[in-house]
């Protein structure tokens, strides 16, 4: 009888929620100067240096170049794209004879690592439309998880809020209704999420501490909440509760479509980066690859340029965080007080631990029904497995002609040596791979690639107070210098790739407003949660 009473109360609460509570619609930020011209006046030249050709820098370059600015991008790597960078390389053969047999003696497009585009990536969606890249995307409808101590889960959102969330619990093989009721303790932080105060309330606390503080059930935390931390490349035990609550809102609660995502059917280069580069070149953007910036020069409360003798009207610093820390450490200026005020908080920002992304070619396929993408939060150091022979056309064709498979393994919790080769990495992770996909043990390993990185910002507890905003340099009197990147704080909710491209657009808008050129509209999430009775 008690269970029936609980169910009846739950149905009543859901009905009331459906009537009263609604996810807030996205917010359109209109130009502050709608009556200004859409481009620089004829004959008026303005130059901009963009330091870093990742997503943030490319976003700023797109808006400024289309409005008549002379834009120069300096990128340290030999390719553009940042976390969407694609490298053309030959796999390292485990066996020369197998590489010959399986047609692997050639070059392939190997990306930085698998990515998905979420419903709330409004700025990135706008860019994709302008690049005519939508044809390369397909839905990723359901997210599959495997755990060591729980049954496999397939999580997806269906129906209006809050039925979409209740459906996740109803379909779960592991979460009990008593687990779901434990979430009532944190409704003020989740359903009544408020972006304006979330960092003041919880950035001092780790997410694990928040789970204990709010008495969230272990099963609900393990299956629904904690796996999301892995996409940030941060250590779960130190991750900020405030940042994690932003992710919960951003990817689960902002609307019934919050967890809807899309993935590419070809490489990042083919779909996005090459069309983006070509569009920039048509607007006369000067792109300098293999061109790391060593330092910046400041004079009389202005930034005047980099280590070269070239002067610029504006500079956007959009490199990754380790590069930015190095550039700011080496920068010089006549007004050291202002420069020190910029440098000090940046140097206190931490970088997330080293991670690796490995791609392996096998002589055979996994068992039928294996999900294209599989999240593995309990199988350290492997956090995600992606079947590229099911995802991207180049590898689909290779698999069709050879019968082999191509698997990508994301090693976000890598604790081994950083400077080791492909075979050594494989030797370290192979036993875990076979625990996740035991049938792969019967197939031969033909070849592999591996990349290692340490360039992702840390979001451990206590970091937010050091995190600047796009326009922070102007607050210190330097009115032609701006930041862009996923390491910044934004006035609206944002995360990951969307934070990168949106801060690039914000930086461009700051320059446009100053020069009396009409700003670019932006669509962003509301900062207020949907509510719950």
Per the annotation, binding residues are: 75-76
Question: Phi and psi for 59 in degrees, rounded to 5?
Answer: -65, -45
Sheet containing 332-333: give its strands across. 302-306, 296-299, 332-333
Concatenated DSSP letters of 5-69: HHHHHHHHHHHHHHHH--PPPPEEE--S-TTS-SSPPTT---EEEEE--SHHHHHHHHHHHTTT-
Binding residues for FAD: 75-76
Concatenated DSSP letters of 409-423: EEETT--S-SS--HH
b/e per residue 87-109 (b: at least 16 CB within 10 A): beeebebbeeebbeebebeeebb
Selection from 333, 439, 328, 465 nearest residue 387 by Cα = 439
Q: Which residues lie closer than 8 Å to 372 by C-beta, 6 or more apart?
A: 140, 386, 387, 390, 391
User: How far is 467 from 390, CA to CA, in rounded Å?
Assistant: 39
b/e per residue 494-504 (b: at least 16 CB within 10 A): bbbbbbbbbbb
Sheet containing 481-483: give its strands across. 286-288, 70-74, 47-51, 314-317, 481-483
Sign, Cα dihedral of 368, 369, 375, 379: negative
How many Cβ atoms are within 10 Å of 84's Cβ, its own excluded?
24
């Amino acid at each position: 009888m008690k269970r029936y009473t609980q169910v009846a109360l739950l149905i009543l609460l859901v009905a009331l929620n459906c009537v009263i509570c609604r996810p807030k619609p996205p917010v359109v930020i209109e130009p502050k100067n709608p009556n200004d011209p859409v481009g620089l006046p004829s004959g008026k030249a303005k130059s901009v240096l963009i330091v870093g050709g990742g997503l943030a820098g490319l976003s700023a370059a797109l808006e400024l170049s289309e409005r008549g600015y002379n834009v120069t991008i300096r990128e340290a790597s030999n390719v553009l794209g940042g976390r969407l960078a694609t490298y053309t390389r030959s796999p390292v053969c485990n066996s020369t004879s197998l590489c010959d047999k399986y047609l692997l003696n050639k070059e392939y497009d190997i990306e930085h690592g698998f990515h998905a585009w979420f419903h709330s990536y409004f700025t990135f969606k706008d860019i994709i439309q302008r690049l005519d890249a939508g044809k390369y995307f397909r839905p990723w409808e359901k997210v599959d998880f495997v755990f060591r101590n729980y049954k496999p889960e397939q999580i997806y959102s269906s129906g209006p809020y809050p039925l979409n969330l209740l459906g996740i619990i109803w379909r779960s093989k592991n979460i009990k209704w008593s687990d779901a009721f434990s979430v009532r303790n944190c409704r003020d932080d989740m359903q009544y999420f408020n972006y304006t105060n979330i960092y003041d309330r919880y950035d001092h606390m780790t997410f694990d501490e928040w789970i204990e503080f709010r008495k969230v059930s272990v099963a609900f935390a393990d299956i629904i909440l904690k796996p999301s931390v892995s996409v940030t490349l941060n250590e779960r035990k130190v991750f900020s509760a405030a940042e994690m609550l932003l992710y919960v809102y951003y990817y689960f609660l902002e609307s019934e479509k919050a967890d809807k995502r899309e993935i590419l059917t070809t490489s990042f280069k083919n779909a996005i980066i090459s069309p983006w580069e070509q569009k920039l070149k048509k607007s006369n953007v000067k792109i300098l690859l293999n061109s790391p910036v060593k330092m910046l020069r400041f004079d009389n409360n202005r930034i005047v340029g980099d280590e070269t003798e070239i002067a610029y009207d504006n500079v956007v610093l959009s490199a990754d965080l380790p590069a930015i820390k190095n550039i700011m450490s080496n920068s010089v200026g006549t007004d050291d007080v202002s420069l020190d005020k910029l440098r000090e908080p940046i140097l206190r920002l931490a970088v997330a631990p080293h991670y690796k992304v490995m791609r392996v070619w096998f002589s055979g396929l996994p068992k039928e029904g294996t999900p294209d993408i599989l999240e593995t939060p309990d199988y350290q150091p492997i956090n995600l497995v992606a079947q590229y022979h099911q995802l991207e056309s180049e590898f689909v064709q290779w698999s069709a002609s050879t019968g082999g498979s191509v698997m990508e393994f994301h090693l976000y919790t890598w604790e081994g040596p950083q400077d080791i080769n492909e075979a050594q990495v494989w030797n370290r992770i192979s036993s875990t791979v076979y625990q996740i996909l035991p049938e792969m043990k019967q197939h031969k390993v033909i070849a592999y690639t591996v990349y290692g990185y340490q360039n992702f910002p840390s979001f451990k507890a206590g970091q937010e107070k050091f995190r600047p905003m796009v326009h922070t340099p102007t607050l210190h009197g330097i009115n032609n210098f701006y930041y862009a990147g996923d390491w910044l704080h934004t006035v609206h909710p944002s995360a990951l790739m969307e934070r990168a491209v949106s801060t690039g657009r914000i930086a461009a808008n700051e320059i446009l407003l100053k020069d009396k050129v009409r700003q670019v509209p932006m669509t962003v999430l509301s900062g207020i949660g949907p509510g719950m009775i």
